[in-house]
């Protein structure tokens, strides 16, 4: 065929077993194309559309058509649907669009969680995301503790590496605990706002929202490494001053890394709003309230600790 025609099908789940597809045909050289009747015969080009035709509401050569396709399979191929236009039947090639992709999580969380809600309440992927953050945090805590082991009393100096390892494990556990706490607080506040939905799904969607913090935590570790590279430890005689370690934690590298990490927490908060909205069947406004209050308190507390 001298001309060409291609279609883009975007499918969004509405309820189990059905979906809507908005199919936009872009045709050029329409006069060279042929159409197929239901009889299977090939006929010449479609007659020119009169200027009074209401379908001609867009630029020539562009035909927007809204179709409803039932039981569209993600693995289907070929020609799952037809569109009758002016007595001619266009066969519509299937274009699969994956819903709930990683890109959607970051850029279109509403679509991501709408797709995930239909899949169930699996905690596997969210738990892996949070666990990865916890492992990075644990390594950071362990490395950060090593230079200070020299200040341990001689009686327990040999336990220094073990104590540092316990510090890392504590950091890992705290990341998991904070995940559950955030989900619990979101769940509780949303219940006061009329939310309905399982805690497990809320926990899963909050776990997905941690994804940006993978990047934030990695950046924070870089600043911790810069802090360690430029660290000048005070003499052992000064350790009795309780403000020594607090002052060390206010190092510019620690502060900058912490603030950058907070920016990624705010990104997570944006994702959490849509996750709570979907998991708890809330309006966007109420979901923003359920997420915004605890996150704002967390950010203020962290800023106070850093500065």
In the chain, where the domains are located: 4-92, 122-306
As a dihedral over the C-alpha atoms of residue 146, residue 152, residue 154, residue 156, rounded to 10 degrees, the angle is -80
251: DSSP letter: -
CA nearest 264: which of 221, 200, 226, 202? 221
Q: Which residue has the tokens 């279109």?
A: 108
Q: How far apart are CA 98 and CA 92, in angstroms?
A: 18
Pairs from 134-138 (Cβ < 8 Å, separation ≥ 24): 134/171, 134/172, 134/173, 134/175, 134/176, 135/172, 136/214, 136/217, 136/218, 136/221, 137/171, 137/172, 137/174, 137/175, 137/217, 138/168, 138/169, 138/171, 138/172
- Contact criterion met (CB below 8 Å) for 15 and 30: no
pTM: 0.65
Pick from 254, 246, 262, 259: which is nearest to 296 by CA? 262
| pLDDT, tens only, 255-302 | 999 999 999 999 999 999 999 999 999 999 999 999 999 999 999 999
| pLDDT tens column, 203-245 | 999 999 999 999 999 999 999 889 888 887 777 666 666 676 6
Print pLDDT tens along the chain (307 aa): 433 333 333 333 333 333 433 333 333 333 344 334 344 444 444 444 444 444 433 333 433 333 333 333 333 333 344 445 555 554 444 333 344 578 899 999 999 999 998 887 789 999 999 999 999 999 989 988 888 887 787 788 788 889 899 999 999 999 999 999 999 999 999 999 999 999 999 999 999 999 999 999 999 999 988 988 888 777 766 666 667 667 777 888 989 999 999 999 999 999 999 999 999 999 999 999 999 999 999 999 999 888 7
Structural contact between residues 125 and 208, judged by C-beta atoms closer than 8 angstroms:
yes
Q: Write down the H helix ranges in the chain.
A: 102-107, 109-119, 124-145, 160-192, 199-209, 211-229, 243-248, 252-280, 284-306
Percent pLDDT > 90 in the chain is: 46
Contact assessment for residue 173 and residue 131, using Cβ atoms and an 8 Å cutoff: no
Kindly report the number of other CB atoms within 10 A of residue 234's CB atom: 13
Chain-centroid distance of CA 179 in Å reads 15
Contacts of 27 (CB under 8 A, 6+ apart): 3, 4, 5, 33, 61, 62, 63
């Amino acid at each position: 065929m001298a001309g060409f025609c291609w279609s883009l099908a975007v499918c969004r789940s509405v309820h189990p077993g059905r979906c809507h597809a908005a199919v936009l045909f872009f045709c050029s050289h329409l006069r060279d194309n042929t159409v197929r009747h239901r009889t299977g015969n090939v006929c010449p080009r479609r007659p020119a559309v009169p200027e009074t035709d209401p379908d001609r509401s867009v630029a020539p050569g562009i035909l927007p058509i809204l179709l409803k396709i039932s039981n569209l399979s993600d693995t289907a191929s070929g020609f799952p649907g037809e569109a009758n236009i002016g007595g001619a039947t266009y066969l519509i090639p299937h274009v699969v669009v994956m819903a709930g992709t990683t890109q959607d999580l970051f850029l279109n969380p509403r679509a991501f969680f709408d797709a995930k809600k239909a899949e169930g309440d699996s905690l596997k992927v969210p738990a892996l995301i949070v666990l990865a953050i916890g492992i990075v945090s644990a390594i950071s805590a362990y490395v950060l503790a090593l230079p200070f082991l020299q200040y341990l009393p001689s009686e327990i100096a040999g336990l220094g590496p073990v104590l540092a390892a316990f510090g890392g494990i504590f950091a890992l556990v705290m990341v998991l605990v904070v995940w559950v706490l955030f989900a619990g607080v979101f769940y509780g506040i949303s219940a006061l706002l009329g939310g309905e939905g399982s805690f497990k799904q809320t926990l899963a969607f909050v776990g997905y929202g941690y994804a940006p913090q993978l990047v934030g935590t990695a950046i924070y570790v870089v600043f911790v490494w810069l802090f360690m590279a430029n660290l000048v430890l005070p003499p052992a005689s000064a350790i009795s001053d309780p403000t020594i370690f607090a002052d060390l934690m206010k190092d510019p590298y620690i502060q900058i890394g912490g603030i950058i990490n907070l920016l990624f927490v705010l990104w997570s908060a944006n994702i959490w709003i849509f996750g709570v909205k979907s998991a708890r069947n809330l309006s966007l406004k109420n979901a923003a309230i359920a997420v915004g209050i605890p996150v704002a308190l967390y950010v203020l507390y962290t800023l106070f600790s850093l500065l």
